Amino acid sequence: MQSTVNPKSSSRVLIGVGGGIAAYKVCEVVSRLFKSGVEVRVILTRSAQEFITPLTLATLSRHPAYTDDSFWQPIHSRPLHIELGEWADLIVIAPLTANTLGKLAYGMADNLLTNTVLASTCPVLLAPAMNTDMWEQVAVQRNWQLLLTDRRYHGMSTASGLLACDRIGAGRMAEPPTIVNHIQSLLHTHGNRDLAGKTVLISAGGTREFFDPVRFIGNPSTGKMGLALAQAAMHRGAKVILVHGPASWEVPLGVEPIPVVSADQMQQAMLDALPKADVIVMSAAVADVKPRDYSSEKLPKRSLPENLPLAPVTDIVAELGKRKQPHQLLIGFAAQTGDIITPAKEKLQRKKLDIIVANPIDQPDSGFGSDQNQAVFLDKQGQQIEIPPCSKLAMAHYLFDLTVPILEGIKII
């Protein structure tokens, strides 16, 4: 059976800005969302206006920004907080201050932002930002944990770094690209944590097979697809273990990283983590061969062999297929040119995969290094789903959309 995924229609995001220096970062969040086709509305608290103006955010969102003055003006046909609460598909509060956190934790509402949150039913994404000592206060952490017991609320981890108070420590707000990725995830899932309680093991990036300290056989994989898979799984509530080759990106907070270099190292890491996993996604571009010999010193150019002797690399996916248990799902990737379906079907069967993702790497904006991707998903029941060009994060979610029902159908005896 063959089908095609239809991209979701435009979404509506309401951003609440708290009073903190990190408010300046919200400008980039709003700009990125608007450019991606998301409708954006913004509420500023009174203290937020000490750091950033309503005019700035109105210009970036192409819509007037709301303040507490808007709340109390009788110019709306219905109460403004009711209209905004019903309008939003998602509410984002960034930066979330200790003051607003305390109000939300105890259901208090004394301004437009907090009234709108209580008058809504959509998911709420929280991006806290404050001084390290403030963030680590027992009362603040108690409020944070209390608020997160409500499944509407999705909390982002604070980063550590140099704060505006010159303190180095926790409390730094997540960066705009990270916030936007989480927003995109929640718009796709509607806040559903359908991988909660599951462990997802992912491999990402290319491997490097060295024949001396500075030269290696490799491939152009950047690991962006594996990174997107890790983000999507984490946003859906999973515990994520990411085994990755050399990469230029940082592993997201909340993901367990296992850095490796060679195919042998990746195989060992994947096999060690396999017993913990419910879902295994092998998205890494692993070498097929490696140099037969290794020199511990750099070889002079004149000493390089005209024909480099090669040895095969162990097939990690096939080995995982042999060892996986009935309650585990194994997903592989097949980067192909030309006919992508025939070799993918063969690989699906031969390597005992549950699902395979066939990527046409000879198409524009797909494959290695691109922020976009397109693919055909095939499963062992014969289902075939075409994914048109989309972001790699969206593709990761489409893959988990297919995976979750299969997981739910597995009965552990």
Burial label for 60, CB within 10 Å (0-12, 13-18, 19+), is buried
Residue (of 273, 271, 363) closest to 323 by Cα position: 271
Q: Does 351 count as an annotated binding residue?
A: yes
> Euclidean distance between the first and final Cα of the chain, in Å?
30
Identity of the residue numbered 408:
E
Question: What's the CA angle centered on 53, arms 51 and 55, to 5 degrees?
Answer: 165
Question: CB-hemisphere CA count at 13 Å for 59?
Answer: 7
d(CA 117, CA 119): 5
- Tokens representing 318 are 């096939």
Q: Which residues contact 347 (CB under 8 A, 6 or more apart)?
A: 332, 334, 353, 356
Q: Does 293 count as an annotated binding residue?
A: no
Q: How far, CA to CA in Å, does 155 sit from each of 14, 146, 186, 254?
A: 16, 11, 12, 11
Burial label for 260, CB within 10 Å (0-12, 13-18, 19+), is buried
Q: Does 211 count as an annotated binding residue?
A: no
3-class DSSP state of 287: coil
Is 165 one of the catalytic residues?
yes
- Number of neighbours of residue 314 by Cβ within 10 angstroms: 13
Q: Does 290 count as an annotated binding residue?
A: no
d(CA 216, CA 291): 8
3-class DSSP state of 15: strand
CB 241 within 8 A of CB 252: no
CB 93 within 8 A of CB 124: yes
Identity of the residue numbered 21:
I
Identity of the residue numbered 328:
Q
Residue with tokens 């907090």: 114
State residue 312 phi and psi, 5-degree precision.
-70, 155
Q: Does 298 count as an annotated binding residue?
A: yes
Looking at 27, 122, 165, 390, which residue is catalytic? 165
Question: CB-hemisphere CA count at 13 Å for 382?
Answer: 1
CB 36 within 8 A of CB 59: no
- Tokens representing 211 are 């024949």
CB 125 within 8 A of CB 178: no
Positions at the binding site = 288, 298, 333, 347, 351
What are the catalytic residues?
A: 165
Positions at the binding site for CTP = 288, 298, 333, 347, 351
